Every structure is written in structure tokens, then in C-alpha cells.
A and B are shown apart, each in its own frame.
Chain A
């Protein structure tokens, strides 16, 4: 194909959309999902690093660097533990210009100190903005169970580290991680595949492959249940969060684990709502290394923390002992499938899912694989997993009104 790219993998999303992954000589990947029925194009560049690549004392680097590279670029962006991505949806006629602009992110940059300091201030304000109750309990769960592991730190970093980042830190981090062999471009919408490959090859060929810093992290084995009680004056109703060590996205058990989390979340939601309105979310981390299965409950004025904790324990004990039912699993399977298609229907969501699977699962075809495997995940598999996961030492975080 064009631009010196080699076709590496292909898959079909639904009855219409075909997806192909190409690799260039410098190991840059491009996932192309042409769709002539659309009028606009989603362009995203994904990088296989995130806050998990920050180092102790230098947390927040991946995220601040993402901010710096967005200034004046016309892209939006996001950073998570395992990835950083830049995204834009626009007219196809702008695609060539976007590719050219995006390629700058892979060449050596010089960050100006004054600009770094201003953007650092912006991130400090973002940090303050993010201190909502749900984020507080969620971050505490990871802090309790992950010890020195980088998943213990919020993606945005620790405030005391953020305010010390300077342009040299950013330059170094950029040199290490913004390399073509750590990147994948995703394009979805109406475009000529050969022409796009030609453009990518032309603009990204100057980017040289480099060896990535070696990373090896052990997830600490928790000795027993860990608890933390948080208080904040502005909290109006209690929150309780429970986290169990779960599995990585690439694990064969991930899909069953995701369904299990949703069933348990739904059951807990029903249990708490017998006593009034409360909301519960059950989810499992979509992460490269094993993350957590989390249950986050927001109570109401009539429910105390003890009542919520008791309801959580009762639901988990019942699921671990008696398992989930076929009916529950069927409803959750349908909801999971519906959500996947809902994300795929929008061009931006489609490109994002392809990029996220490529970076976290290791192959975008994991997406189609999950959709194909979904009907086969049976009650026995989910229940075996439940009895295993819910025996693991967990973390429980509570949050209520009061002075910290």
C-alpha cells in the first residue's frame, strides 16, 4: 500500500465497516476504518504511555505534556493510565493538514519555560476542579490497594509533583515516549485509504524508532482488607466505594469480570433503592495491567454509611455463594452489547474504541473478539470468577460530611 505501509491485520465491524491496520517502516501503526457513508472524518493519534509511566516524584508528567502538545494544535486530548490520545473530528479536506501537524508531536520539541509554568497553573486548576466526591473515593481505592505501583496515583498527578515540573522534565519524557513505535494513528470516515497512507508515510517518515524505557511493575499483594474513612464538609450524602483486585483487559476472564461487575452493581442498586433513591455503578478497569472491580454507591439522606456497607456485603456474599442468575446475566449481556454498538455508531467513538483496544488490549481486533465472545460467556464462568474475585482482600472507602 501507499507510504511504504504493510497491511498487518483486518476485521469487520458490523455489516458495513471494514477496519485495517498497517505498519510503517519505523513501526508506526495506522488503523483505518473507511466509511464513505459519512461526511466527516475522525482523526486520532494514540500513544502507548500514560500516567503509569510517570515516575515517583514526577507524577503528572504524561498529563501535562499532553496539555502542552495541545496548545494551538486544534486537537483535544486525554491521558489515562496506559495511554494518551489526541483527537479531532473535521471535514475530510483537512485530513492532510492534520496529519502534517500531528507529525510535529513526534519530532524534537523545545518547551518554553514561561509557557510550561502557565500550563502548569492550568493543570493545578484542573486538579482542584476534579476533587468531586466520586473521584475522591475512587482514587482512594487505588491508593489503598496499589501501594508503590503507578496505578496508585491519579492520572493528573499529585499536586506537590505537578508544581515542580519544568521544561526539562517534559523534554526528557517527550524524547522517551513520543516515538513512532509507541504510536498508532486511527482514522474513521470518508477518505481514500491509499492517499491517507501516502500522507502518513510522507509526514511521519522523519520520526525515528527508538527503544522504549523498560518498565516492570509488580502489583503488591494486599495483606488484608484495607479501609479508609474520608470526610469533606461539602458532601451532602454518603458515598461508599469497594474495590477488588481484578484482571487485565487482555485476560480471557476480563469479559466475564465486566459482566459480573455490572450484575453486582445492578443488584446493589435495586437493594439500596428499596430504601429510597441511590445510585450505584459497578465496573471493572479497562487496563493493561490488572486493575480493580469497583462498586461505587451514592446514598441518599435516608441511608447511613453502615446501611450501605451492610447492603454491599449482603449482595457480594450472595453473589459469591449462590452466583448470578441466567436472567441477570442475559440482561447485562444485552446492555453490554448495546453500549458497545452505541459507542461504535459515532465516528469519534468508533475511532476511540479501536485506539483503546489497540493500546490496552494489544490488538484492535479484541473489540470484534469481545462482541463475538459475548453470547458465549455463561453463568458458570461468571460465577466461578465471582467466587474467586470476591475472596480477594479488598479496599473499602467511605466518604461523609465533616472536616477532613
Chain B
């Protein structure tokens, strides 16, 4: 390799050479993929990632100090290498974006495993080209950091910020724990499953006091009796049954709401189904409606309900073609009321909601799921517990990038005037 480089010493490398390097990395990646298979990121777990980080930074510094002697190294921190490396990453990521991705832990075989494109994040060609770009990014940094100069700050916010965020995210990925914990009302739980379905014991316990789902008012829709598709096809309409709604229009039909029962149960009479108020587990929403076709005057009336795990749903057939239905209500808020105990003796009451995780001793606890068959009557709540020790490093990078982006916006129109 060195021999070739010295031969090319006098030559100026440009975009063609840069693209050739990316192509070479791609082919090398394919060969690695075929011979040793996909990358197992779990191998990077602490302390391997720390060792790799130190080695990587040393490698970048070594390349940097030898840049005067080795043409390749000098070329690596120039524009042609940068631009072509980015083009390489764009292309390989486009392949990823056009290929259906499967979970990294899933086993794939045949042609899929051969190239590894369906698990791109673990595929050698992707990782090599990506590493190439990040290394080139890293190489731009030393001369901007030392000697320190104020005018290099915007450059460093963008470039060092991206470097820190990406390197932190990649090396930290194996140390990140994402666990699933299923809790039942009234019981304390301290065990959770990891991604490999291993049951782990945790230094904290969650006692579920209550799980609630607030729902939006139900809505009414029209469907085609044969296809079951919402009407008008392509741009379906719906009518939200808000409190005290008495009349509304849905397509060509006028809907009059005669009675609404927010908590109802049904019972069958000899010829039909009726709904009555029922305040207990399994109750559902029901409404008695009269529906009139605006043009023909055709009229139907009856009960309609979205049903629950206990009460069957009830549609209203308007004519041979169209039925009126009440789809399942959409959730407005999921919330778990919990008491949390930690090994260090903390006991605290908290509410965990979607978008409002609970942060405690390095863990973030998220509302993940519930017993979907029972819906709002679920007596279990499923949490995701996430621990990511490298998160602060990634966040430093992200905040630097945010500052860099704001700086870029402020100086966008002044930039060129200075340089000309």
C-alpha cells in the first residue's frame, strides 16, 4: 500500500480518487460481510468502547501529525475527500432507506444476509463508509482546536459537535439498556426483560396504583357494506360526538343524536339490541341516532356503539350500500399512577405518561403499553426502562450543533461579504 502511495506522491488527488476510495471501502465491506458476517454491536460494550475510543483518537492524532509526510493523510483533511465521503454516505444510506429494515437481532439468511442491506446498521459496507466520513470529520479538528482561536468557534460547534454526538452515540450504543417491565395493579415489580428476553433484577421497584386511559369523544363514520372501506373513499369524513352534540352532517346524511350514554352495556331483546347505563368494568359508549338522507329523505334510527372487550360493537345499516359505524375511540392520554422504590431507600409517588417519562438514578421510565384487549379497563401497565450512560456525551454534541446552527443562521447573509 505504501509503495503505491509514494508513487502517487506528486499526483493531486481529486473527486475521482475520493469516489474510488468509497467504492473500495464498499467492496471491502461486501467481502467482510460475506466472509465473517454482520457486525455484532454488543461486542462494543464497556470497556471495549472506551478502549476503542482511545485508540480511535490516537489514530486520528497520528494521521494528523503524519499529514506532512504521507500524501493520503494530507488529502484526507481536504475538500475532495470530504465531499466524496459524504456522497458515499448519502448513497449507502439511500440504499438503506429503500430497503426494508429488520431488527438487528433477527436472523436473516440467503441473499439478504449475504449483502446485509436489510440490517444496514450492522452491515460492513455501511459501517466502513460511515467510519471513513467520521474519520475525515475528526481530522479537520486538531488544527482548529490548537492553537485556540475565537474565530474557529463556529467551525468547532458544527464539526466537533457532530463528531462528539456521532462517536458517543455509536460507541455508547452497546451500553444502552432498554428493558420492558410489566406491572399489575397493586403489585410491586422489580424484574424486567432485556432485548434478548433475559429476565433481569433491577435496583428499583415499581408498584402500579392505577392505570388510566382518557379518550377522545367517539366519532361516527360511513363505510361501504361490501368493502368495509371508509367513505367517501380516499377522503373519508367523520363526525366527532362531542358532549351535547345534537345534530351533525356526515356526507349526504343528517345525523340527529337522540341519546348518548358514555358508560353503557347492551342487552338483547327479541328483535334488537338495546343499551342501558352501566357504570363498571367493560362498559362502552353508545348513542341512539336518527339518520336522514339529505336528498332522498330515506331514514333510519337505532343504537350505535364502538363496543369494548365485553360489549360487542353495534353498527347501523343505513341501506344496501352504506352503514354507519362508531370506530374505537382514540386515546387522549395514557397514565400510570405509581409508587417507586429504590435500593437506596427512596420512595416516591409519580405519574408516568407518554412524553413524560420519570427520571431516577440514571434510569428513564417510559409509559410503553398496556393490556390492549381490555383497553381502558386494563389492569396492567408496561413500562420501558432506559439507561444510557453515554447520553450526556451525545447531548453535549447535540447542544453544540444547535448552537452552531443558530450561529450559521445569524451569519448566513454576512458570510460571503467577509470572504470576498
The finding on whether chains A and B are genuine partners in a shared complex, rather than unrelated, reads no
Task: Report which A residues bind B (CB closer than 8 A).
Answer: none
Which B residues form the contact surface with A (CB < 8 A)?
none
